Structure 1
Amino acid sequence: MKSFVRVIVVVIAAFSSFYTFSQQAELKGRVTDKKTTESIPDAKVMLLSPGDSSVVTGTSSDEEGNYRISAAPGTYILKVTVLTYNDEVRTIRLPGGATELAIVLSSDAKLIDEVSVEAKAIRVEQKGDTTQYNADAFKTNPDATVEDLVTKMPGITVENGVVKAQGEQIKKVFIDGEEFFGDDAAAALKNLPAEIVSKIQIYDNESDQAKFTGISDGTEAKALNIVTKTGKNQGQFGKIYAGYGYPDLYLGGLNINIFKGKSKISIVGMTNNVNQQNFSSEDILGLSSSGSASGGQGGRGPGGRGAAENFIVGQENGISTTHSIGINYSDRWGTKTKVTGSYFFNASKNENRQLTEREYILSSQSGQLYNEDYSAVTRNYNHRMNFRFDVQLDSLNSIVIAPKLSYQGNDRTKEMFATTADKQASLLNQIANSTYGDNKGINAGTSFLWRHKFMKPKRTLSMNLSGTYNNRLGESGQESLAEYYDALAGDSSATINQFADNKTNGYITSLRVSYTEPLNDYWSSEYSYTPSYTLSNADKRTYNYDPNTGVYNTMDTLLSNVFQNKTIGNEIGTNFRFRKNKANVQIGLSYLNTLLLNNQEFPVNRNVNLVFHNLLPNVRFRYEFSKTKSIQLNYRAGTRTPSIDQLQNVIDNSNPLSLSSGNEKLKQQYNHRVFGRFNVTNVTKGSNFFVFLSGEVSSDYITNSTIIATSDTLIDGTIQLARGAQYRKPVNLDGKWNTNGYVSYGIPLSALKLNLNFNLGGGYGVTPGLINNELNRSNTRNGNAGVTIASNISPKIDFAVGYTFNYNNAVNSRQGSTNNEYFVQNLYAKFNWIVKERLVFNTNYALNAYAGLSSDFNQTIMLWNAGIGYKFLPKKQLEVRLSVFDILNNNNSIARNVTESYIEDVESRVLNRYFMLTATYNLRNFGTPAK
């Protein structure tokens, strides 16, 4: 209550400063092009402090090029900047009252000439914390996508459908600063042609509130902005394609873009049964049940985002049939409102067969070997939409409203046969298990941000209210027969025939109030308060089949539970920021009080209430040695609150050989995370050197306690484990930490017309867990190195060759010196050639070699694809192509997973050799309005 009163006092005091309005100066005018005299929208007009060049206040020109800024009377540095124009910098004196100033900008081509560097030679530049690549310095063929373009750039990769830059996952893609298809980075890059791109910018995208206050709140996410070429951002472009192949395969789709100034509409669609997929985690119900983890987000546990909310999913195992359509829209409504939004529908059917070999860690003398063979058919459909309305109410006030909604359904059938044996290969048990599940769920949420600037520079007030709601209904069934073998106690068997109803729902509400106050020319401060409330309900009821009545009418109380969790958080904090010359420092500390109220209503009524008090410091340091060299160091503490699934104390017996449950006594996880970046760019040579280092230490880490029954065992007086079966539940342990590093270097080989990119990475981590109530530490080491050579010869010849080497080693404390080393080598090559303008030939080859896995998984997999096509029509818009996928019929999918209790190798079903005849019509209609 006292904290709330303090906030109200601050708000009242802040608003009292309005009386100074009549004493303020106002600068207004219009920004125009020197050559054409046309207006220039979106020009950033800033007033800087003469002492340290820090930003005092600023705005952007509207659609007509008009701008208006209010500030205290005095002397300022005026800086005007906009893409493709020279910066305008001058010193001005603002008296009280209104001052009109017309700003005329010229093209930046002259600036490039003055420093005697040709535009084409500028491959990469560093502008503050933004790495900018010049698209013209990277040659691609005429039909290339933005994905083809960016993967030639140093530090940018696409791994298993996930786009990464400088070792971190790209979470958002923007076009000219506007969101494009929400969080689906891969969808954005695959559905835009490379020819429209002028620049690619990589940077840390901050929250709207952090951008406004200038104070980091720890929610940064790696983003990629596509700056379009002049003339290429007007018109209609895209492609429509359809193909049919042997045996009985098809592929069809479209992506159409209609750009007209600030108005951009993009439509994408796809239908195929050749495993091409495009979806995010919101399209897969129940993909992750992670809690409201904030780790590194300032510690707002209950109000923070779930770790998987915006996680982009890579290629799914198995063979998928997918039908999807989406539309993205961005525009300006009038002069004050920016609007972006997207809608996406995805329907898929996935068929998979998977073989698993798993070794459970007991000791160097004993262990268990688990083999599983399962096949599954999963059907999924999803509707999701999101919008963003950014409204500039006046020169001092703005609001951002961002609603989102998704509805999804998922059903799955699975057949499994599994065996467990000891290290002497003596069979302990086996099971034949059949399960099905049918789930439906809705997720809705919105955020409302109000931002206010006071007349005093750097004094601001902002309030961000957000809320989410989810509701999931599901039912599942299971039939199984398990057989257990014991020479002493005798063999036994157990059957299961069950049906279960499962309902979960809840909501999260959070408010963040932030007030910033300048202390002097170099120091500014922020004071924030963040209350949050989370409610989660879970109701699972399981019934056994009664053969006498033929219905499921007997409730199994061990597998049934009604549970409610309430999480109440209150965080109050302060941050101080220092900016002078080349240094930028932020130091902050917040206090977070979290109350977890866990109430089990069935099968017995009991309450578990936990209170946590945490201090969450943060430090952010950035120093620019020059415009081309900088270093950044960040440290932030955060918390992770356990999810409802982790708290709900109910048995999951979907695999009777491996039972699991929640733990209502789980505590919050507390994390310390630090990372650093060092970047050097040589504009003249076109080279870029980047280093990224990170580390994390967790206390009360949420991990698993696993009981592996060496004989028939009764757990907690209720759970019967037969010999060889396992039981797992989450617990809190200390001792979790990891560190990772990534280095990339790119340079053009101008004489050979090639781009050469190197990367080097590695990490070390320790993950604790309990096995039969004894501590096990899984120590994992990994290292990787890679080199890529990409052509820069001409748009007609495009090739790339790359090699990567991966080393992995896991040592478990319960196995002494026993090592589990494995190696993966990847070699790939691709070649595209346009012969005599119309004949097109392309091929790609990938070799994946595995060593150190179990004997059945040590394989060398060679994937070779090729195609030949011909372009028709006067402008070569139509291409007919014959393609062959997996010519050697050698495709396969292999993965190794290491946890705190076991190491496993997994082989999944994939699509093998097929032929496809495809017709593609390319639409290129730039510079003309839509008809």
Structure 2
Amino acid sequence: MKKILLLLFSSLICLASYGQNTGRFTMKGIVADTAGAGLPEATVMLLLPKDSSLVNFGRTAKDGSFEFKNLRRISYLLKVSYVGYLPYQQNVTPNDGDVTNVGKLDMKFLNQDLYEVVIKTARAPLSIRGDTVEYDPRAFKVPPGSTVEDLIRKLPGMQVDADGNIKAQGEEVKRVTVDGKRFFGDDPKMATKNLPAEAINKVQVFNGKTEQSKVTGVDDGKREKTVNLELKDSHKKGGFGKAVAGVGTDSRVEGKVSYNRFDDKQQFAVLGFGNNTNQSGIARNDYQDFKGSQSFNWGDDGDFGFSGGIRYFGGEGDGITISPSYGSGSPGFTKNWAGGANYNYDTKKTKVSSSYFYNSTDAITDVMSSRDNFLNNSTFKSTDKNITKAFSGNHRPSFRLEKVLDSLNTIILISNSRINNGDSDYDSFQQYFRGGDTLSNRSTIDNSSLYNSFAMSNLLLYRHKFKKKGRNFAASVGYNINNSDGSSHLNSINEFFLDPSKNSSINQQNETESKRNQFKGSLSFIEPFAKKFYWETFYNFSLRKDEVDRNVFDVKDNDLLGNDFLTRYYTNDFTYNRLGSSVRYSNKGLNISLGLAAQQFDLKGKFGKDQTSTNFSYVDRSFFKVTPNVTLNYDLKQNRYLFMEYGLSVQEPTIADLQPVVDNSNPLNIVEGNPDLIPQSNHHVFAGYNMFNPASFTNLYVNVNYSYNVDQIVYNKTIDENLITTTKPMNISGGKNYGTYVYLGFPLKKTKVSMNVNAGINFRDNPIYINNVINKTKTDAYNFGARLDITPSDFFTLYTNANWNIADTRYSINTNQNQKVINSTYGADMNIKMPKEIYFNARFNYNSYVNNQFGFDQKQPILNLSVYKIVLKNKRGEVRLTANDVFKKNLGISQSATSNYYMETRTRTLSRYFMLSFTYNMRGMSASVKRSNY
């Protein structure tokens, strides 16, 4: 295998350097206006005359000059574009010398009457205007039936990883819009994975403003990398979409259908799919829904002021379900169903964005894990074989209305909901060993659960712009609901071989109802002064009420007997007030903000056996903190940015951590709360530099970070003589984390071969108590990566990558267990176009997991192959044969070292199968462009 990889990368290097031969030439010239003055920053491109495919590109220097080196000695189409001028083009045939000088190219001023003709007929493969890069997809051909994701892979300066995450100019893309409108919320993958590439007229990449800066009206200097997909006129008339159906070996089936109908004011899209091939079609963040957590993941929270402070609407859950254990990127075996619709209505004064999405998953997760636990002067080992069968169904409606009342007033109404239900069965066989192979404990667990939850987040934003430029007032009110109820049955047999008197069996029924309501509001007033300064005063308020009723019953002879020790009823009222102010300086790209906020956090609650208890215990705690914040964002022009932030953030303890409630769902791992906890504070510093050269498409990103924890909430462990672990949260100071990251991307040959490399170093100190003795775990992590993309023609593309991750972990209480974990991955994705509209794709990943301390050495080659043919009139059909995991090596593998243990996990998952599928593409009506006669 190593020889094959070495041969592969050697071939790539040879291919990348191919063509560095004699007989090449240099082309140069000057772009000027009609008066003869040079035009700086004009976009200059070389294309092949036969199909207008892009060969090279660049931007002119300050004097308007340009130069292309090492060109093949063939004829080219030279195109020049500049804002406000008519595009220029001419055919260039090289002369006999080493340099071909095309002389001075005179650009003519653009008459507005000709503007529509120009943009329809004189388009360039790409154009660069300030920090916006605009691509013409016709110059970057992809096979018929390709998605937008396939198209983006070919665009210079953009990358798509194996999970569909997008980077543009080295930065993560936060948002993808379609004709400037939201598409199924703000999930970038919904658009890139489900829209066809042939529907796209332009791909625009730019730095968008943050939501807070849009609402307050003051530029905070922060940017969100955004991609906008502009549709073709032909796909705004009639509908377009795709239908897929496939059958395979081992009873595998899949189906998917999508339909879109867009025009200038309205967008309508529907999507549906079902399969048993582990393809969810959405991001795996639905894991939070799967376990029924109390969490919101929506933006537009309406909290004005600088970030930081107490995060007063946390994500803790009541733990009423038994969560599956996932391997490294392996979900086991799943059946997935999903469907949804997206509707947008957009006029100058009214913008409506709405969507509904449902997805359900039936999952079987079969896990084997081995864990080495370190104590002060000894170790013990535990193994776990478990299987989880679970169902989760989620309804997600969303609505957003933005209404411009007049030139000074705007309101925004947002409502997002999630309706979730599910069930799970969890079977586990756990064993604990002392001194190597001496069996100490054994547990057989059979748990099951049912749950339902409803969450809704509602927000109303109001913005008023005063007649004085820069003076703004903004207000927000929100009301959130998060309710859940569930039942779980805990059944286990626990054997203690060194002390049989500890043997026990648990047969319990838990009924839990949780209610959460939150009212929140925020105010912001911004006053400009001294021309370049802005003064913002803000206030944040939140009142959150929680009520949890947990009833635990022991099951004996089919009778339910109340368990007073585990039954709990408790209520909590969280009141949060924050008053702050910041001064911002903004001038010529330099944006500096200094802020200070005072915040008060009050927690009042009571807990007892049940609602009728006469012996309640009460919690009445108040916390006060002053939090500073300093930010610097500097636009150095020419796509260069410098940024820095220092802040102090405070996070309150969760309900589960504060309540003295015992969780015995795993009798060998007991969890209890701590009512004496205080909030944790974190000092953090982050700084970096980002540079993108649109002429060479070279981008550099560098950052450094440091954080220090005060009163950090950690989960201390006490292990008794029977190896029963009790975990209890406590406060401890001294944890810190610091490191740096560097990313560099550049073309080896423009539009043909590009490369990016990255490296990161991170040092982490994590103190924790083990049997009342402090253990300082130090981890030094080193990450290295490289990616080489080769796209020499429409007939062949190859995307390769390699990543190495090294974690050196050291323990203060048991240095004999110091270890080094090495994980590495190598990948390649190849596409070949063959005669008669036949295409071939191969994806290969080689994963390596090594830990010499524990003799762990696992190699995993994964190969997927597919061949497909385009059929039917107008290339509307596709017949595809796919072979998944040809070597039958797919297995979820993970290893980790933390606090006081090392853990290996293997998860069975879907392995080799073959699939035959048919795809039918529905396309929009053909539309001719009306041209003016000039």
TM-score normalised over the length of structure 2: 0.80
Matches within 5 A, 1:337-352: 337-352=350-365
Residue in 2 that maps onto 1:477: 489
User: What SS does the corresponding residue of 1:626 show, helix, strand or coil?
Assistant: coil
Contact 1:85 1:108 in 2 (8 A): no
By how many angstroms is 1:282 displaced? 7.6
Change (3 A) 1:351 1:862: same
Counterpart amino acid of residue 573 in structure 1: G
**2 CA distance for matches of 1:491 and 1:125?**
78
Residue 633 of structure 1: CA displacement? Answer: 1.2
Q: Counterparts of 1:725-764 in structure 2 under 5 Å?
A: 725-750=724-749, 753-764=752-763
Equivalent in the alignment of 1:194: 197
Residue 169 and residue 892 in structure 1: after superposition, are their counterparts in 2 closer, same or farther (change >3 A)? farther
Report the RMSD for the aligned CA atoms in angstroms: 3.3
Within 5 Å, which residues of 2 pair with 1:311-460? 317-332=331-346, 334-363=347-376, 365-460=377-472
Structure 1 residue 288 displacement after superposition: 4.7
Equivalent position to 1:298, from 307, 310, 325: 307
1:559 pairs with 2:566: yes
Deviations 1:870-893 (A, max 9, x none): 111121110011111011111111
Secondary structure at the aligned position of 2:813 is classed as helix
Question: How far off is 1:491 after superposition?
Answer: 6.1
For residues 739 and 753 of structure 1, do their structure 2 counterparts lie closer, same or farther at Cα, with a shift above 3 Å needed? same
- The 3-state SS of whatever aligns with 1:859 is strand
Instruction: Report the more deviating stretch, 867-876 or 313-322.
Output: 313-322
- The alignment of Structure 1 onto Structure 2 pairs a total of residues equal to 800
| Identical counterparts, % of pairs | 26
Distance in 2, Cα, partners of 1:105 & 1:724: 83
Q: For residue 284 of structure 1, what is the aligned residue in structure 2?
A: 289
User: Counterpart of 1:4?
Assistant: none
Q: Is the 8 A contact 2:491 2:508 kept in 1?
A: yes
Distance in 1 of aligned mates of 2:873 and 2:535: 63
- 1:255 matched to 2:266? The reply is no
One-letter amino acid of the structure 1 residue matched with residue 211 of structure 2: S
Classify 1:655/1:349 alpha carbon distance in 2 versus 1 (closer, same or farther; 3 Å).
same
Counterparts of 1:653-732 in structure 2, within 5 Å, are: 653-709=664-720, 711=721, 723-732=722-731
How many Å apart are 1:692 and its aligned residue?
3.1
What residue number does 2:241 align with?
A: 238
Please say which of residues 601-610 and 683-692 is displaced more in the overlay: 601-610
Question: 1:639/1:736 Cα in 2 relative to 1: closer, same or farther (>3 Å)?
Answer: same
Equivalent residue number for residue 531 of structure 1: 541
Corresponding residue of 1:513: 523
SS at match of 2:424: strand
Question: Do the aligned partners of 1:811 and 1:817 also contact (CA within 8 Å) in 2?
Answer: no
2:649 aligns with: 638
Find 1:568's aligned residue among 571, 575, 589.
575
CA distance in 2, matches of 1:189, 1:578: 38
| 1:166 CA drift (Å) | 7.9
1:540–1:295 CA distance, 2 compared to 1 (3 A) = farther
Q: Please tell me the residue identity of whatever aligns with 2:712.
A: Y
Distance apart, 1:295 and its partner CA:
14
Alpha-carbon distance in 1 for matches of 2:492, 2:316: 34
Matching residue's letter, 1:595: D
State the distance in 2 between where 1:510 and 1:916 align: 51
Q: Secondary structure at the match of 2:233?
A: coil
Further displaced range: 785-794 or 811-820: 811-820
Instruction: Note if contact 1:401-1:447 (Cα within 8 Å) is conserved in structure 2.
Output: yes
CA distance in 1, matches of 2:852, 2:451: 36
Aligned position for 1:206? 210
The answer to whether the 8 Å contact 2:178/2:231 transfers is no
**CA shift digits 1:459-510 (9 cap, x unpaired):** 1111011121011000000211111021xx5564211111010111112221
Asked if 1:607 corresponds to 2:621, the answer is no
Q: Note if 1:625 corresponds to 2:636.
A: yes
| 3-state SS, counterpart of residue 559 of structure 1 | coil
Aligned to 1:876: 875
Corresponding residue to 2:594 among 587, 595, 605: 587
Partners in 2 of 1:424 and 1:924 — Cα distance? 65
**What is the CA deviation profile of residues 33-66 of structure 1, one whole-angstrom value per residue up to 9, with x for unaligned ones?**
xxxxxxxxxxxxxxxxxxxxxxxxxxxxxxxxxx
Task: Please tell me whether the aligned partners of residues 598 and 607 of structure 1 are also in contact (alpha carbons under 8 angstroms).
Answer: yes
Q: 1:161 to 1:229 in 2, by over 3 A?
A: closer
One-letter identity of the residue aligned with 1:824:
N
Change in Cα spacing, 1:835 to 1:792, as seen in structure 2 (3 Å) is same
Residue identity in the other structure for 2:349: K
Aligned to 2:161, the other structure's residue is in SS state strand
In 1: Cα distance, 2:778 partner to 2:338 partner: 42
Q: Distance in 1 between matches of 2:305 and 2:678?
A: 18
Contact 2:305-2:524 at 8 Å conserved across structures: no
Structure-2 separation of matches of 1:899 and 1:105: 67
Instruction: Identify the residue that residue 99 of structure 2 maps to in structure 1.
Output: none
> 1:155/1:172 Cα in 2 relative to 1: closer, same or farther (>3 Å)?
same
Aligned CA distance change for structure 1 residues 285 and 375 (closer, same or farther; 3 Å):
closer
Structure 1 residues 819 and 405, CA gap change in structure 2 (3 angstroms):
same
Distance 1:423 1:221, change over 3 A: farther
- 1:331-357 deviation line (CA, Å, top 9, x unaligned): 22x541101111110111000100111
Change (3 A) 1:131 1:531: farther
| Counterpart-to-counterpart distance in 1, 2:441 and 2:169 | 47
- In 1: Cα distance, 2:401 partner to 2:248 partner: 44
2:174–2:224 contact (8 Å) kept in structure 1: yes
Tell me the SS of whatever aligns to 2:189. helix
Shifted more, 374-383 versus 143-152: the winner is: 143-152
Distance 1:295 1:573, change over 3 A: closer
Shift, 1:247, TM fit: 1.0
Give 1:322's aligned amino acid.
N
In the TM superposition, residue 520 of structure 1 has moved relative to its aligned partner by 1.8
- The more displaced of 335-344 and 370-379 is 335-344
Q: In the alignment, residue 399 of structure 2 is paired with which amino acid?
A: F
| 1:296–1:580 Cα change, 3 Å | closer
CA contact 1:741–1:762 (8 Å) conserved in 2: yes
| Paired letter, 2:661 | V
Shift of 1:660: 0.9
**1:777 equivalent in structure 2:** 776
CA–CA separation in structure 1 for the residues paired with 2:192 and 2:381: 43
Output the CA distance in 2 between the equivalents of 1:680 and 1:107. Answer: 33
Deviation at 1:578, TM superposition (A): 0.8
User: Counterparts of 1:693 and 1:397 in 2: how far apart (Å)?
Assistant: 41
- Could you tell me how far apart the structure 2 residues matched to 1:381 and 1:448 are? 29
Judged with a 3 Å threshold, the aligned counterparts in structure 2 of structure 1 residues 151 and 675 are, in CA distance, closer, same or farther, namely: farther
Task: Give 2:641's aligned amino acid.
Answer: S
What secondary structure is seen at the aligned counterpart in 2 of 1:395? Answer: coil
Q: CA deviation at 1:650?
A: 1.6
Q: Is the 8 A contact 1:215 1:577 kept in 2?
A: no
Structure 1 residue 175, shift from structure 2 partner = 2.7
Distance in 1 of aligned mates of 2:140 and 2:773? 55
Task: Report the Cα offset of residue 739 of structure 1.
Answer: 2.6
Structure 1 residues 265, 768: closer, same or farther in 2, change over 3 A? farther
Cα distance in structure 2, aligned partners of 1:502 and 1:126? 56
CA distance in 1, matches of 2:135, 2:732: 44
Q: SS of 1:188's equivalent?
A: helix
- Compute the displacement of 1:537 (Å): 1.5
